[in-house]
C-alpha cells in the first residue's frame, strides 16, 4: 500500500514538472512559451495592458516592430553614443529606484498595535452618515404646459421645508411630498450611507451633513440645477475590520515616506566646484 501511495505521489510530481508549456508566439525570431509570454504581460504598465486587451494582434505587431528597431539601435551602437547612453542610464536609474520603492511599499511591516493605534486616532474621519435628503430642482426644462421653477422659488420651498422639519414635521413625509430626487423620493428621502471619503459626493453636501448632530436639519445646499436640505438620522462608527485596507494603506504610506526620508538623509552630495553649478561659495 505504501509503495502504491509513493508511486502515485511520484507520478503527480513528475506530471507537474513536465506540464506542457507550448510556444504561443514567435516575435522576430524569438519563441515565447505560454509562461514566458504571460510573464511579459504581467510586467507591462496598465496602459499597455489595456492596449493589448483591446487589439492583441496590433499589439504583437507593434512589439515586433519595437524589437526590430531596438536591435538595429544596438547594432549601430546607439546605446553607447551621447546623448542616448546618458538618457538610457538615467531612465534605468529612475526605473530601478521606483521599482525598489514599489516593492518595499507593497510589503509594509505593520503590527496589530500600530493598526489599533491608527484606528483609534482616525476612526472619526471614516464614520458613515445615515441621512434623508430633499432635492428641489430649479432651472430645468419644464414638462409641456408647465413652468420652469426659478432659483428663488426653489429657495423659498426649501426654506419652508426647513421650517416645518424643525417644527417637528416628519422629514420623510416632506421628502415624499416635495423632493424631485426620483431615486429617494418614494423612500422618504433615504440616502445610501455617506462617507467623508466618498469622492462622488459633492463637497458642499458632505460639509453640510458632517457638521450636524443626529436629528438636526441642515441649511440649504444650493447646487447648479437644484437645492438640497438634509436631516441626519445617525452616525455609524466604522469597525476596525471595515477600515482594515485603509489602515494598511495609510500606515504603509507613512512607513514609505519615513524610509525614503532616511535614505535621503543618508544620500550625500559633496559639491567640489560651486561656481560650476552657479552656487555661491560657502563661507
Q: Is the pLDDT of residue 18 over 70?
A: no
Task: Quickly name the fold that domain 126-236 has.
Answer: Chitinase A; domain 3 (3.10.50)
The CB-side HSE value for 134 (13 A sphere, CA atoms) comes to 28
pLDDT at 21: 93
pLDDT at 167 over 60: yes
Rounded to whole angstroms, the Cα distance separating 62 from 46 reads: 17
Q: In angstroms, rounded to a whole number, what is the distance separating the alpha carbons of residues 118 and 126?
A: 12
The pLDDT score that the predictor gives to residue 75 is 95
Do 159 and 220 form a contact (C-beta atoms < 8 A)? yes
pLDDT (tens digit, 9 = 90+) per residue, 56-84?
A: 999 999 999 999 999 999 999 999 999 99
Q: Give CA–CA dist 164/78, Å, rounded.
A: 78
Model confidence at 283, pLDDT cuts 50, 70, 90, reads: low
pLDDT of residue 17: 55
- Calculate mean pLDDT across residues 147-172: 93
pLDDT value of position 3: 54
**Average pLDDT over every residue of 11-29:** 74
Indicate if the pLDDT at residue 1 is higher than 60.
no
Domain ranges for the chain: 19-82, 126-236
pLDDT above 90: residue 144: no
**Residues whose CB falls within 8 Å of the CB of residue 139, separated by 6 or more in sequence, listed in order:** 148, 149, 150, 151, 224, 225
Whether the per-residue pLDDT at 5 is higher than 80: the answer is no
Statement: residue 146 has pLDDT above 80 = no
What confidence category does residue 233 fall into, taking pLDDT thresholds of 50, 70 and 90? very high
Cα separation, 45 vs 92, in Å, equals 16
Longest Cα–Cα distance in the chain: 90
At a CB cut-off of 8 Å and minimum separation 6, what does 10 contact? none
Closest CA to 129 of 182, 229, 198: 198
Q: What is the DSSP letter of 108?
A: -
Q: What is the pLDDT of residues 100-139, one digit of tens each?
A: 988 888 888 899 999 999 999 999 888 999 999 999 999 8
Q: 10: pLDDT confidence band, cut at 50, 70 and 90?
A: low
Complete DSSP assignment for 24-57:
EEEETTEEEEHHHHHHHHHTS-HHHHHHHHH-HH
Amino acid at each position: 500500500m505504501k509503495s502504491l501511495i509513493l508511486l502515485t505521489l511520484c507520478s503527480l510530481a513528475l506530471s507537474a514538472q513536465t506540464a506542457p508549456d507550448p510556444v504561443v508566439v514567435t516575435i522576430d525570431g524569438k519563441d515565447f512559451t505560454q509562461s514566458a509570454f504571460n510573464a511579459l504581460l504581467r510586467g507591462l504598465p496598465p496602459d499597455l495592458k489595456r492596449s493589448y486587451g483591446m487589439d492583441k494582434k496590433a499589439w504583437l505587431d507593434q512589439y515586433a516592430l519595437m524589437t526590430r528597431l531596438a536591435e538595429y539601435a544596438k547594432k549601430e551602437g546607439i546605446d553607447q553614443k551621447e546623448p542616448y547612453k546618458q538618457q538610457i542610464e538615467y531612465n534605468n536609474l529612475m526605473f530601478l529606484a521606483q521599482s525598489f520603492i514599489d516593492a518595499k511599499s507593497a510589503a509594509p511591516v505593520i503590527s496589530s498595535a500600530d493598526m489599533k493605534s491608527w484606528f483609534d486616532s482616525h476612526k472619526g474621519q471614516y464614520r458613515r452618515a445615515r441621512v434623508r435628503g430633499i432635492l428641489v430642482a430649479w432651472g430645468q426644462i419644464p414638462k409641456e404646459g408647465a413652468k420652469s421653477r426659478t432659483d428663488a422659488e426653489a429657495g423659498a420651498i426649501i426654506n419652508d421645508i426647513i421650517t416645518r422639519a424643525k417644527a417637528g414635521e416628519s422629514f420623510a413625509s416632506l421628502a415624499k411630498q416635495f423632493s424631485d430626487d426620483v431615486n429617494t423620493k418614494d423612500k422618504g428621502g433615504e440616502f445610501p450611507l455617506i462617507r467623508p471619503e466618498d469622492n462622488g459626493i459633492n463637497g458642499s453636501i458632505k460639509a453640510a451633513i458632517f457638521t450636524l448632530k443626529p436629528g438636526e436639519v441642515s441649511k440649504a445646499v444650493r447646487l447648479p440645477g437644484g437645492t438640497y436640505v438634509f436631516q441626519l438620522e445617525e452616525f455609524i462608527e466604522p469597525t476596525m475590520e471595515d477600515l482594515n485596507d485603509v489602515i494598511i494603506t495609510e500606515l504603509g504610506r507613512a512607513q514609505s515616506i519615513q524610509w525614503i526620508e532616511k535614505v535621503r538623509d543618508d544620500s550625500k552630495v559633496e559639491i567640489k566646484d560651486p561656481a560650476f553649478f552657479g552656487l555661491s561659495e560657502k563661507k
